[in-house]
Chain A
Amino acid sequence: MSTSSTTHLALALDGTGWHPGSWRDPSARADELFTARYWTDLVLLAERGTLDLVTIEDGLALQADDGLHHDPRTDRVRGRLDAVHVANHVGALTSRIGLVPLAITTHTEPFHISKAIATLDYVTSGRAGVQVRIGGRRDESAHFGRRELGDWSDLDADGQRSFANALFDETDDYVEVLRRLWDSWEDNAEIRDAATGRFVDRDRLHYIDFEGEHFSVRGPSITPRPPQGQPVVAALGHDERPWQLIGTSADVGFVTPKDDAAEALPTIRAAQQRAGREDDVRVLGDVLVVLDEDATRAAERLAHLNDLAGSPLESDALIYVGGVPGLADLIESWSAAGLSGARLRPAVNTVDLPHIVDGLVPELRRRGLFRSAYDGRTLRDHLGLARPANRYAA
């Protein structure tokens, strides 16, 4: 297993990359975005770099530039494949890297997501995770027609977005249901006892009986407890409430430090403690990377991408534009500040990912900050997280 002093590296995949002009790069393979081959090639490359995991973005509406409202643009990548499906397909063709598709908690059934991620864990022999995200777009809810959502401009007295907070509360419940369902079978529930004719010992199967404000789930799962016991739950947070969600519910948090690398940590650790969680929570800093041989070339590439996109790059995360040593310095400084590593968002997948694998990874290895080979089999192994005991086992 990895030691906790090792830096963890995650890769965030979204379309052709995180720069809106990325699809116009000559290498981008934009016309292959909806093929299995495209996704498999990228993840195999990341696996060659012994990265801990890959996240795959998703959503229940077409992408939009402002992230909240429908737009009619035709000059941007629009449309995507279901991330859980992509992860299962790629999972069958890879052997070591963790696969963490995104699931929207506001409009999907936790029972369905629970068994889909458990199945991903079976397909990959223990490399599954799921990134949970609220679905705050009104057009998303119009696609489902089941609930009216509030408004992001609806701020309460403390300046908190109460509408969003309610969705995060629901997400805490959602993760609780996922975890209970994964535990609803004890590891040794399948007994195949030919003498008594019993396939399972039903005393080792458990109803979860979850009752919440938005949903209730009886259980048990239909899928036996997955290889990791609990697949890895991840969440992205930009603010107090989602940081609390990370501390309460996630195994891995993605945060977006710009000035103070450790800003989110006190909130996450406090929430973790309040929830009585002794297990560790890995916190990775997100950074959008335009990575090249040197800073000048990187800046030129960014300028060209901005031209192609028709606007300067903006991001919720820090944007790093430069060479390998500077990015390694940044990650090292984040580690010193208490983060567990970084999640890299390539500006252009087909350009920046090779730089990550062939440049950044060797540099971090030289510095003794990153593994030289996978030393474990499961995603939990990579992250140095123990396999949890089953809450229902006697």
Chain B
Amino acid sequence: MSKPTKQIHLAAHFPGVNNTTVWSDPQSGSHIGFASFKEFAQTAERGKLDFLFLAEGLRLREQRGQIYDLDVVGRPDTFAILSALSAVTDRLGLAGTINSTFNEPYDVARQFASLDHLSGGRAAWNVVTSWDAFTGENFRRGGYLPADQRYERARLFLETTLELLDSWRDDDVVADAESGQFLARPDAGEFARHDSQFDIHGRFNVPRSPQGRPVIFQAGDSDEGRGFAAAQADAIFSRHSEYDAGRTFYADVKSRLAKFGRSRDDLLILPAATFVIGDTDADAEERAAVVRRQQVSGATAINFLEQVWNRDLSAYDPEGPLPDVDPDTGEHTIARGRASVRRHEDPIELARTWRERAQAEGLSIRDLVIEVSGRHSFVGSARTIADAIDRHVQDDASDGFILVPHITPGGLGGFVDEVVPLLQEKGVFRTDYTGATLRENLGLPTLSDDEGAARAS
């Protein structure tokens, strides 16, 4: 018996402060002006994409003790821009990363409830944690959590926020001018939460929103992060956009769902994906090579290497061989404000592998960095890309992708105009929005206020 054809989910990430973004290209627009965000969002909606995703920054990155100046620097406030975008879009989901460390549940809950009301049920929350004192220096309470408490706080933060959102029932606002009854009951919004992280009680002050709660996204990749996602999330942002790694990750995460009484369709797996479209496959390969060199300048390559080596490598020639010296495995101080530096669990081994590879293939520092960091997920003609995406999804390497163009805001247009119609032709992508809320468009089960409350407890 053959598997039913899966419908692909597609979203678009407005790229921020990584070297993916080629800001030096003449077509590159503003990364802060509202017109850019509006164009990007309306392009995504024109393509019937599920949602727009916006990351968050809470401290400017630094390297070697100085503000990192080679990539795009600066971005708007996540919540504020999503609320503004809710005014210029009708169906597109609006997903934002909001940190659970430097916020309080009451404030985050009221902001998501407000966004969900203003957008008519299109809000989504990518829950992330931070534990570093570096970012904490911008927040009044200063030096934050030890690393071992961050998932605990994230878990309880999410539970607490959902409890607040579930403190109003759908029919609590009566607003009957005749009888004079505005609220159905005097205790609407009542909550109390006492746990290791939060000790709060009172009444939540935003009535229940169209979705009841935002769609919950999670991005962690560790065992703990996967468990957290399997228990709580509606979608997981994975970084496994490659076919084999994607299938392994997919199988692992989906297999964890049963333990929490959830079905395989209750959690979507959506890796980030970059793409370069060409007139032909060969043309696309050529373009991709150019883009990769734009993304990795000599200076960017040295900085990238420093993030693994945890040493000042500014004296090295990016067109020369890799450093002989081993990475410094002490406290990571060379680069601050980057999540990626923590991924290198064994930098000495990684450096050895890279040195061997560079030597064997005759790669300079810059060549090597392009090889290990600059690969695009999908390169080819629109037809090739549509086929590859469909194969990924039908083979359970993902449920779809979050597209990250390298030019903003215009870089999404080509995908929407050339690849989306081919997917629609194949019958694997919607030709129009099927629901009013993001939850409906993602095909996730809707939650009544009772179910919501039950799931939060």
Selected contact of A115 from candidates B66, B80, B119, CB within 8 Å: B80
**What is the minimal beta-carbon distance from B424 to any residue of chain A, in angstroms?**
29
The SS class assigned to the B binding surface is loop
**B residues less than 8 Å from A111 (CB atoms):** 58, 102, 138-139
- With A78-B183, A144-B106 as contacts: A222 and B79 at CB distance below 8 Å: no
Note all chain B residues with C-beta closer than 8 A to A192: 23-24
Whether, in the assembled complex, A153 has its beta carbon less than 8 Å from a beta carbon of chain B, the answer is no
Decide: A142 and B201 in contact? CB cutoff 8 A: yes
Provide the A103-139 mask, 1 if CB < 8 A to any CB of B, else 0.
0000111111001101110110100000000000001
A199 to B22, CA, bound (A): 10
Q: Is B261 an interface residue (CB 8 A)?
A: no
The interface bits of chain A over 138-167 (1 if a CB of B lies within 8 angstroms of the residue's CB, else 0) are 011011111000000000000000000000
Q: Which residues of the partner chain B approach A33 to less than 8 Å between Cβ atoms?
A: 175
Q: Are A79 and B107 in contact (CB under 8 A)?
A: no
Q: Verify A119–B177 contact, CB threshold 8 A.
A: no
CB of A60 within 8 A of chain B? yes
A392 within 8 Å of B (CB atoms)? no
Is B247 interfacial (CB 8 A cutoff)? no
Check B391 for interface membership: any CB of A closer than 8 A.
no
Identify which of B45-53, B67-75, B232-240, B354-362 touches chain A.
B67-75
Residue in B107, B177, B181 whose beta carbon sits within 8 Å of that of A107 in the complex: B107
B162 to chain A, nearest CB (A): 16
Residues of B within 8 A of A81 (CB): 113-114, 117-118, 206
Are B84 and A88 in touch, CB under 8 angstroms? yes
Which of A72, A85, A142, A205 sits near B111, CB closer than 8 Å?
Answer: A85
How many angstroms between the C-alpha atoms of A59 and B70 in the bound complex?
A: 41
Interface string of B123-147 (1 = CB under 8 A from A): 0000000000000011111100000
**Complex: A40 Cα to B83 Cα, angstroms:** 13
Q: Does A76 contact B (CB under 8 A)?
A: yes
Instruction: Say if the beta carbon of A75 comes within 8 Å of chain B.
Output: yes
- In the complex, the answer to whether A85 meets B114 with C-beta atoms within 8 Å is yes
- Does the CB pair A86–B118 fall under 8 Å? yes
| Contact residues, A330-370 vs B (CB, 8 A) | none
Of B86, B139, B142, B185, the most chain A CB neighbours within 10 A belong to: B139
Q: Does B349 contact A (CB under 8 A)?
A: no
Nearest chain B residue, comparing its CB with the CB of A195: B24
A34 B69 Cβ-Cβ under 8 A:
no
Taking the nearest CB of chain A, how far is it from the CB of B270, in angstroms?
A: 25
Kindly supply a per-residue 1/0 record for chain B positions 343-386, scoring 1 wherever the CB is within 8 Å of any chain A CB and 0 otherwise.
00000000000000000000000000000000000000000000
28 A-B pairs with C-beta separation under 8 A: A62-B189, A62-B205, A72-B186, A75-B180, A75-B182, A78-B188, A79-B173, A79-B206, A80-B205, A81-B114, A86-B114, A88-B81, A88-B83, A91-B87, A93-B88, A107-B104, A109-B139, A115-B80, A120-B84, A122-B32, A122-B33, A145-B198, A197-B300, A199-B23, A200-B69, A202-B66, A215-B141, A219-B138
Residues of B within 8 A of A (CB): 23-24, 32-34, 38, 57-60, 66-67, 69-77, 79-81, 83-88, 102-104, 106-107, 110-111, 113-115, 117-120, 137-142, 168, 173, 175, 177, 180-189, 198-203, 205-207, 209, 297, 299-300
Leading 7 A-B pairs by shortest Cβ distance = A215-B140, A72-B186, A119-B80, A82-B114, A218-B137, A92-B87, A88-B83
Extra contacts, 16 of them, besides A60-B106, A81-B114, A222-B57 (Cβ < 8 A), are A34-B206, A77-B182, A78-B182, A78-B183, A78-B205, A79-B188, A82-B110, A84-B83, A89-B83, A89-B118, A92-B38, A111-B138, A142-B200, A143-B106, A194-B24, A200-B73
